[in-house]
Structure 1
Amino acid sequence: MPTEFATREIGAAAKAAAVAEPRVTFKTDRSLGAQAYRFSRVSDGTVVVTSGDASGAMYGGLDIAEALRLGTLKELVSDHRLHTPHVLDRGIKFNLPLDWRTPTYSDRTTASQSNIPEMWSMDFWHDFIDEMARDRYNLLSLWSEHPFPSMVKVPEFPDVALDDVWQGKTDANGAYTDHAVVKKMTMDQKIAFWREVMEYAHDRGIAVYIFTWNVFTHGATGKYNITDAMSNATTVAYTRDSVRELIKTYPLLDGMGITSGENMPGATDDAKEDWVWATYGEGARNALRQEPHRKFHIIHRFHQTSLSQIMQRWKDFSGPVDFSYKYSVAHMYSIANPPMIQEALDVLPPGKKMWLEVRNDDIYSFRFGDPDYLRDYVDNMPPAEVSGGYMMGADGYCLGREFLDRDPGPGPHELVIQKQWYSFMLMGRLSYDPTIPDTHFQEVLAARFPGVSAFGLYRALQSASQTMPLITRFFWGDIDIKWFPESSSKRPADKNYYTVLDFAEGESMPGANVLNIRQWRTNVLEKRPMTKTTPLQIADALEEESRATLQSVAALRMQTPGANAVEFRKTLVDCESLAWLAHYYAEKIHAASDLGLYDLTSDASQQASAIRHLDSALDAWKHYATVRDGQYVPALYGRAGYVNITAMTAKVAQDLTIARGWRPGSIRATVPGQTTEPGVKP
């Protein structure tokens, strides 16, 4: 039960803080609403948590546990205000690498393949789900291209069910060419495993959804003549029956997310929705006929399909059908008020909700966190009347255990959600309550790293966290294969480094009110007023944040924490890495701006200035590579490709060659490939 978890957390916190465990009782008042709670005290000193439901009681108990660690219990329980969720459903998007044979999206990568055994470890899921609850997340969405062979038995297609768990093996070049059996399991054992995961999640107040892309038939292809062709009647029947069995097999599965358009080459919107309804729609209806009172939620992604077709096909479905949309496309850390959602909200039917897919394909390696940015991000989300909530996660990285660290320490690798605990905590806690002050997070840092300047560490993390939003506002690639800011590249990173010419020709982010270099240079040369942020202002901001971060890190390195010293050291390395990356981008923008002017004026002094800035950019990149790669190994990512920062130094140096050989008139007026993903179709 959720309150049992909270009670254990209170006991553990009291023991760790060496204080008496307070008497706590839980009362229910349904009128308070879902997830709501308040505190009071009775004459004998007992702390009373009055809540609207079990989740609210758990959150109140977790607040008490945190207050014990921070030494702020008296202040907490003397505040009798009602705590209510700002965003009702706060989710994690978890791309689930079940098996070599049933991959998730882009999962033949270092992180995904390393994590396949972990997906079948109950210890992993207990730790992960506990962390979710502590951070106030209450929805776990598991994403897989085709999970059915690894999760269900289908009576009509019995040979599709896969026993055991396979992991990819690599050759000397890092290419996945073979497999290894990493766990022996029958399908019955797999079913029991996932039932336990879902039960554990529900005991922490967390709903579980499974999302798929279509049409994929991994693990089933070739059996019973199943293929990934939409026109294959056997594939339709097999998918329909698999959906039915998934819903029947897992009574605690709360819903499914579905996608029209992936791997449906050349199909019309009519054909796409006909297929999705004939498989997912009919499969779900067949399952739910046997459970007429079960509420099963469908979330249909706004992705390569049209609203009218979705509404027509799904109008008679018995349960709720809502939609989802890539809120910041792939870049959560860009601007706090991304405008792309508006086109979807403008056509949203009355009574429907739009779920936000909050994609963080900006930062895979580093610890980071900026409460001010995330508070603004949450505050700018659409209101509850039209928004179902959010699911935050990446497509190019697996949020399992961390396999990048050169020195992971003894025992199992730490969870990504534990390594990046600060950023996950900030998003979860602030989306529940965006009024939490910055001072609270400084107290959390002080408790985790006693004996060091909590404010200094807070500022180092906050300054370092400006790197990705600032550069992505200026240089926009909407989806993750177009822009991976950790390596200044697109996919594949080892072949597609963005040069200084690319920066001079680049587009800024829609809605960011940032001038690209072509717009800026026109204003400069024609002496027009600058009504938006200029490239040089972005560069100056990056330089200022870099300087502030390095100053904070230098001061913090003179201090020794009384606990978690290894984590503290690695956190400073992450901050320093981001600082050098910010300095590199600042110098590169200055150089691209100089070349933008030189391209029209032929003023040799502008070319010379660009070369000086690129010399500094190369020096900054070398520092970045040394610091970052001293802590992290090169890795193959799902969307960015193979990333080796040190090896990319040679490409960075080529920017100098480009600048020295620059011929005026090199910048194109328009650049192919800078369009965004297809928009919403009514």
Structure 2
Amino acid sequence: MKNLFSICLITWSLCACSVKTEKGLINIFIEKTTPQTEFAVNNIESLYGLKNIKQVKELEAADIIVKVDTSSQLKPEGYSISGKDRIVITGKDGTGAMYGILDVAEQISFGKKPDEIEEKVVIPYQRNRFIKFNLPWNSYRNGEALSLHMETCRDTVFWHDFLDMMAMNRFNVLSLWNLHPFEDMIKPEKYPEASSLSDEELAERKKFYTTIFRMAKERGVQTYIVNWNIFVSKKFAEAHNIADYNKTGGFWGDADNSELIEDYTRECIRQLINDYPDLTGLGITLGERMGGMTSTERRDWINRTVIKGMSMADRKVKLLYRAPLSAGKTSHGTTDKTTEMVTREVLDTLTIPEETMISFKYNWSHGHSSDKLFIVHGGKLTDTYWNPAPHNYSVLWTIRNEDFFTHRWAKPDFVRNFLKNNMKRYTSGCIIGSECYLPAKDYFTKSDIINKPFKYAFERQWLWYSIWGRLLYDDKTEDKLFADQLNRKFDIKNGEKLLETWKLASDYYHRFASFYMGTWDATIYSEAFTALLPDKVANTRKANIITMAGMGNRPVLDTTKYINIQDYVLNPDRDTEQIVSPVELANIMYKNAEKVLEAIPEFDGNQALNMEVTDLELLAYLQKFFAERILATLVLADKIVLKKELDKERIDKHLKLSIDYWKKITELKGKYNKKVVLYLFNADLDYNNYLEVLAEERKNVDGIDTFYEHDLR
């Protein structure tokens, strides 16, 4: 560390003959330009609103000197900042130098003078900082909530802004996902009948992807294409009368693993790599359309197609090898040690990829449930993948967010605890993103909002991206950074208090999803207090508000912290000091809510601030609502579980309060957002409609005589 600072200080002393510059103007000199440093310098004004930092060609005129030193002791993408009278930014590579420039610019945007810039050495904490982005065409799931993004996601202006956000937040991998990406990107030379695109259309698509990959590279962002495997284009299926499921859609079921499809897949992989030289890697899924195949057969199919296709290409690329989603022949999520051993055997011996990573869904589809790992897709993991520690691959955690799309989140301590608990020497990073939500077109905000302060959906969750990206890059990042970002964004001075309030409001998501266990996407949707529950009338399941019958015997996810309502009623006096009882959880939610509501008046400001603070107020009432639902269900449990007479007065008090709170939630949601927000598992999800469900439940509470036995598959 001392040697590193010595190098920087020597560089500074050699250049100490700085000349006076125009007052207020900050001159920056790039010793050797890279695409990444050029991006940073050219976009300081658009990214941080600074007009006083200008690039100069003369070293003597520089207030800031930027250099790339590949021989330094820094790690790839790392940087140092040293000096006072003259700032020296040293990057290990172009991306590190870019981050250093962005860091200095950000500090100046917070109001610091050049001689107040913090000296530091930044060593990247996790080298793979992925964003998962599902493409709306040929999508895994179907519905208007996805298809409405088509135009936005075909616009390179959107990707320009999204990639800017990634660079500012230190994300370094953009992964694009759909069922069969090849038909949108290439016309297979060996199988031209697979393409539905004219030559002109194909040229336009190639230009589109090439532009995205180039812009990403300029911002230090790698690009991956991730697919689900045994799919072909509809045209190819029709031409050869194979794989009928490709003609009608649908991702579950048995696979068509004929030799023709294997050869087609190999050729697509080979050509994709060759046609897109800026594409960094590929991702595969041992999952849905591999029904009827054993774990060994799925592994062997990947080897004969994807891995073989990679070996046939003109260059090496990286590989994201998603862990098998099923240990059996079905598409249902299951895990077992034999499947893990079969997969590890492949990973330990793979030599074709430039780098190999295996990813697991952290706590399945609900990565913000707990900072401790309890399940992955399919169930519990053994330590097979990391005991002994791997040398040929690393582990990535996929942090899926299926819990908040409309409303905001900010809790840096959750991410810090997650990193402390789960990042080991065999891990190399995380993938963050959603399956049922695309952060492209803003389809939430009411159309009559004048001077809306953002354009795209991802900008609603700007602080979520900032917290995850910055902490994955530098786990020593302090809350002060996020508070300063709040101060700058909203032109306020109490960003620290706002962040603390935001943390308390966001606590709802973590406690709810730890207490009310979810597995796959629709099993819970936290911000709407919704789950996929049985419809006794239609004998189907539909996402709806969680009733007392649905809550009473729901398993908890975090068994080290919580106990469910039925088990608590059966044994309220057990000796488990570390367990938070349902009653205690309700009290915690009430205390959080009161603190948030007490602080809300301090943050009255411009429309941009009010739109976000309204979410904090809503989350406070959601905590109160959650608390009353717990307390009401406890009263009902005395009747159902202990066979006591129902205390009608007591339960009615809790149910009435919960309805009052839901009315307030509905009112706050409608202040800036549309009445009906599209959700894949309930196309007419309207908070107002839930009032009818709650009123019906209250009216007929005497008739509730059982709790659901939950099927979480």
TM range (shorter): 0.7 to 0.9
The answer to whether the aligner puts 1:346 opposite 2:384 as a matched pair is: yes
Does 1:209 find its partner at 2:224? yes
Question: Equivalent of 2:711, from 653, 667, 673?
Answer: 673
By relative contact order (CA 8 Å, sep 6+), the higher-ranking structure is: 1
CA spacing shift, 1:215–1:422, aligned 2, 3 Å: same
Distance 1:450 1:489 in 2: 36
Residue matched to 2:617: 576
Match of 1:173 in 2: none
Residue 326 of structure 1 and its aligned partner are, at CA, apart by 0.4
- SS of 2:670's equivalent? helix
Distance change (3 Å), C-alpha of 1:344 and 1:157: farther
Distance in 1 between the 2:46 and 2:201 partners?
A: 37
Partner of 2:322: 300
Q: Report the equivalent of 2:192.
A: 158
Whether the aligned pair in 2 keeps the contact of 1:302 and 1:323 (CA below 8 Å) is no
2:211 counterpart SS class = helix
SS across alignment from 1:380: helix
CA distance in 2: counterparts of 1:250 and 1:32, whole angstroms: 30
2:249 pairs with 1:249: no
- Distance verdict in 2 for CA 1:410–1:230, change over 3 Å: farther
CA contact (8 A) 2:677 2:686 kept: yes
2:669 to 608, 621, 628: 628
Amino acid at match of 1:390: C
Q: Which amino acid aligns with 1:394?
A: S
Partner of 2:528, secondary structure, is coil
Question: How has the CA–CA distance of structure 1 residues 599 and 411 changed in structure 2, closer, same or farther, with 3 Å as cutoff?
Answer: closer
The one-letter code of the counterpart of 2:241 is N
Give the counterpart of 1:325 among 360, 371, 375. Answer: 360
- Report the Cα distance in structure 1 between the residues aligned to 2:545 and 2:192, rounded to whole angstroms: 48
* Aligned residues of 1:338 and 1:511 also touching (Cα < 8 A): no
The alignment status of 1:504 with 2:552, answered yes or no, reads: yes
Quote the residue 2:98 is aligned against.
58
- Could you tell me how far apart the structure 1 residues matched to 2:554 and 2:69 are? 56
CA distance in 1, matches of 2:525, 2:496: 30
Q: In the alignment, is the contact (CA less than 8 A) between 1:230 and 1:236 conserved in 2?
A: no
Residue 388 to residue 226, structure 1, CA distance change in 2 (3 Å): farther
Structure 1 residue 484 displacement after superposition = 0.9
TM-superposed deviation, 1:283: 1.8
* Contact persistence 1:491–1:641 (CA under 8 A): no
- Counterpart-to-counterpart distance in 2, 1:378 and 1:467: 20
2:238 paired with 1:200: no
- Say whether 1:38 aligns with 2:92: no
Q: Distance in 2 between matches of 1:377 and 1:328?
A: 12
1:418 aligned onto 2:459:
yes
Distance across 1 between alignment mates of 2:264 and 2:441: 33
Structure 1 CA distance for aligned equivalents of residues 549 and 577 of structure 2: 23
Cross-structure match for 2:579 = 532
The question of 1:225 aligning with 2:241 is answered yes
Cα deviations across residues 61-95 of structure 1 (Å, max 9, x unaligned)? Answer: 1111111110124576342x311111221110111
Aligned partner of 1:486 among 520, 524, 527? 527
User: Which residue of 1 is the match for residue 566 of structure 2?
Assistant: 518
- Give the stretch that moved more between structures: 606-615 or 243-252: 606-615
Identity %: 24
Matching residue within 689, 693, 697 for 1:651:
693
Where does 1:67-466 land on structure 2 (aligned, <5 Å)? Answer: 67-74=107-114, 77-79=117-119, 81-97=120-136, 99=137, 103-110=138-145, 112-163=146-197, 186-220=201-235, 221-227=237-243, 228=245, 229-287=255-313, 290-291=314-315, 294-305=316-327, 306-311=339-344, 315=349, 317-319=351-353, 320-340=355-375, 343=381, 345-348=383-386, 350-351=390-391, 352-383=393-424, 385-407=425-447, 414-451=455-492, 453-466=494-507
Q: Deviations over 1:317-340 (max 9, x none)?
A: 422433110012111221112233
Between stretches 574-583 and 629-638, larger displacement belongs to 629-638
With 407-416 and 203-212 compared, the bigger mean Cα shift is at 407-416
1:174 corresponds to which residue? none
SS at the partner of 2:546?
coil
Tell whether the 8 Å contact from 1:375 to 1:430 is kept in structure 2 after alignment: yes
The amino acid across from 1:309 in the alignment is: V
* 1:33 Cα deviation from its structure 2 partner: 1.4
TM-score, normalised relative to structure 2: 0.83
Residues 9 and 65 of structure 1 are in contact (CA less than 8 Å); yes or no, is this contact kept in structure 2?
Answer: no
CA distance in 2, matches of 1:152, 1:230: 22
Length, aligned pairs only: 632
Tell me if the contact between 2:131 and 2:431 (Cα under 8 Å) persists in the aligned partners: yes
Q: Shift of the alpha carbon at 1:375?
A: 2.1
Change (3 A) 1:19 1:210: closer
Tell me how far 1:194 sits from its aligned partner: 0.6
Counterpart Cα distance in 2 of 1:345 and 1:55: 34
Structure 1 residues 219 and 551: CA distance shift in structure 2, 3 A: farther
Q: Deviations over 1:2-22 (max 9, x none)?
A: 111221344557864768997
CA distance in 1, matches of 2:187, 2:574: 70
Corresponding residue for 1:680?
none
- Displacement of 1:485 after TM fit? 1.4
Q: Does 1:26 align with 2:78?
A: no
Of residues 548-557 and 13-22 in structure 1, the stretch that sits farther from structure 2 once superposed is 13-22
Question: Which of these residues, 579, 582, 602, is aligned with residue 555 of structure 1?
Answer: 602
Residues 382 and 151 (structure 1 numbering): CA distance in 2 closer, same or farther, change over 3 Å? Answer: same
1:507 partner letter? P
Partners of 2:48 and 2:669 in 1: how far apart?
37
- Change beyond 3 A, Cα 1:234–1:11: same
Unaligned residue ranges in structure 2 (runs of 5+): 1-34, 56-61, 246-254, 328-338, 534-540
User: Structure 2 vs 1, CA of residues 185 and 449 (structure 1 numbering), >3 Å: closer, same or farther?
Assistant: farther
The whole-number CA distance in structure 1 between the counterparts of 2:115 and 2:488 is 16
Please identify, of 481-490 and 422-431, the stretch whose mean Cα deviation from structure 2 is larger: 481-490
Aligned to 2:59: none
Residue by residue, what CA displacement relative to the aligned partner does 1:412-466 show, whole Å, maximum 9, x if unpaired?
9722222211111111111212222222322221111124632342233222211
Q: 1:311 to 1:87 in 2, by over 3 A?
A: closer
Following TM superposition, by how much is the alpha carbon of 1:630 offset from its aligned partner in structure 2, in angstroms?
3.5
Match of 2:19 in 1: none
Note the C-alpha offset of 1:360: 0.9
Counterparts of 1:66 and 1:137 in 2: how far apart (Å)?
Answer: 16
Alpha-carbon distance in structure 1 between the residues aligned to 2:92 and 2:54: 28
Q: Distance in 1 between matches of 2:509 and 2:546?
A: 15
Q: 1:265 to 1:641 in 2, by over 3 A?
A: farther
CA distance in 2, matches of 1:551, 1:444: 23
Alignment-derived partner of residue 172 in structure 1? none
Q: Is the 8 A contact 1:459 1:552 kept in 2?
A: no
